[in-house]
Structure 1
């Protein structure tokens, strides 16, 4: 029962955390004027999250011992942040941000709302990935299995968010013709589900504690008090991230931050860079250049499409892409791909094909483009889930929380780079098309 509740909880976390991000990107054509690069929305939607995730891996609720093994002399890996506090920030930022995007206000205010939603998304991704570390032991000897359940749930939820978010925009704006501002206001209510899941449904976590970790007497008493409550049956509570904080002396933290704090952190980050972070960044860079820099220009005459406006093609591309992401992210337990660099190479080839299509329009039908976009989503989702599955399988449990937070930076880094390139690429492709007699990219 613990595993199924863990999976469902992290599925909902992933779904709600990412759905607003997807809605904003899918509605980018409606949020900015036709001649404004859609990647400006992507940049506002990802850059704050990226900067936030650069810092958050430092804020982990754990410590490691000195090489001499003396527990009383602990080196800080990060400064503990309370998970309920993070959750409250996630809910407020996302709801306020999405409401601002729905208002008839100047573009800079709309982009400000996108920034708030981005901060929420970045905080949420790092928080929930780190939280999954606390579900690395279900009371049995198979710690890997339970970790995979949490990661599977999160990955499936984030993939589902893409499908739900893009599907909402497609169905309500393209088919039912509901104004986009009403769709956005409806989505602003979704973050409230975080509160119900975290406080009312998520099981109490169990965690293997490494030999380098020791709790003090106050913590032992607090753990005993929590365990005696028995709020979730027979779960073996070792550490509850919602209630237990590790006491670290402020003077020790300040001294350590000056003398050796980053000397410890940088080698830890470096060991994950080439194995996990770089290939995931390449996958995300290529796919988001396609989505925001090339897809707005991969257009056909309306009589050759099933749509009545050109913006509908952009929304359809986003929805089909998310279908592919959902399929591949949900298949991580069935299909495991260890070669992460191969996924990046295939996505770069996909990007080259899409750019050639935008320039030369050699594909005779939009339906072929639909297949290419679906394939793009499959590669992107596979890159995400297989990277985090590899981390959960290969990184030691006492380092896994920090590793997940670090690797969570790489997708955002790739997207930030893609947004910067797309600010130049989309107008360049559009101008080329206009000079060639195709002005569809300038129309709604």
Structure 2
């Protein structure tokens, strides 16, 4: 699997003399290099990767240890979780972040190779599963999952997006192994295949569906939140590293919590930082990571997330990607509990706020929220030249989506947005008199 080039960042300018949390002699004592694997464009891991690196919080926490060591951080950027797992089980990465399905493969490979890993924190999550989306080409006539029968569908096998595809097709009465031609491709390759017409649909994780929709290269076919099953990303650490360097892991988790607070307190600035580091449009980053974005960020390992992880195991077993995975043994919240102290219980009990309709004005450092999608549309209609992006929550699932990419339904005086055509159609069927309208018609009615 092709991976992105490795980029290193150090606290001090010195040759790289150790990795895997090992120590070597230095002029001012021992030097410890901590290697962190992350996925810059998987933007629901940014509090343990892209944003954390940008803010420099981990380095600051390490410098504050004052334990006689000089610390270096080697940040390694990958396209997916699989190479991070490979490097971890080879003893070359100490801490990594990835999605829920890759986390289970991480656990399985670690046990198999006698290099056990542990899930030590969460990053971004969506309790309904909205982080994964199935999209088709803009001009595609496909409008339901049933339409995918006999078609080519690109996904990354072993990813959370693949799990969404398998489950969604199963709910539609289709078998992902028999009724479609599944193409196992990295996200960027699948995106190119969709644009080239060599695949009929693409099932992928954040931020690919939102990016392609924003660019006008795709439209949503299926909102993963229809599964009503949590999806999340998390932080995994090698067990031997955690035992040998508990203070370092604690420093990382403290830094992650601080980056999480920064993202939640400064969502626009955080999105801009991630956009600058990744090359992704800030409007797409904000769709997922914004104040009312699809993802909620919290390092606490909530019971709902762990329960969902257990439900993922049979999907991976059926695909012969893992055997049994002891999720309870894999989860280890001792380090994050210690790192967060008294605040952990509060974080654990916190629930995501309902999504709101939101506009990001041009040249503005703050967004505007509205009580209803219709109010947002009325504002957009009157400020068409001053809108950077407009977001609305799906009327059924609550998944945030771009207002101009949503499927709109007029139900009397109400204007309701939906991510996918099938959910809009279901609403219309259940509500006599309701009808699907264009975005332009919705704007006109709102104004």
| Structure 1 length-normalised TM | 0.25
Larger RCO (CA within 8 A; separation ≥ 6): 1
Normalized per residue, the structure richer in strand is: 2
| Structure 2 length-normalised TM | 0.25
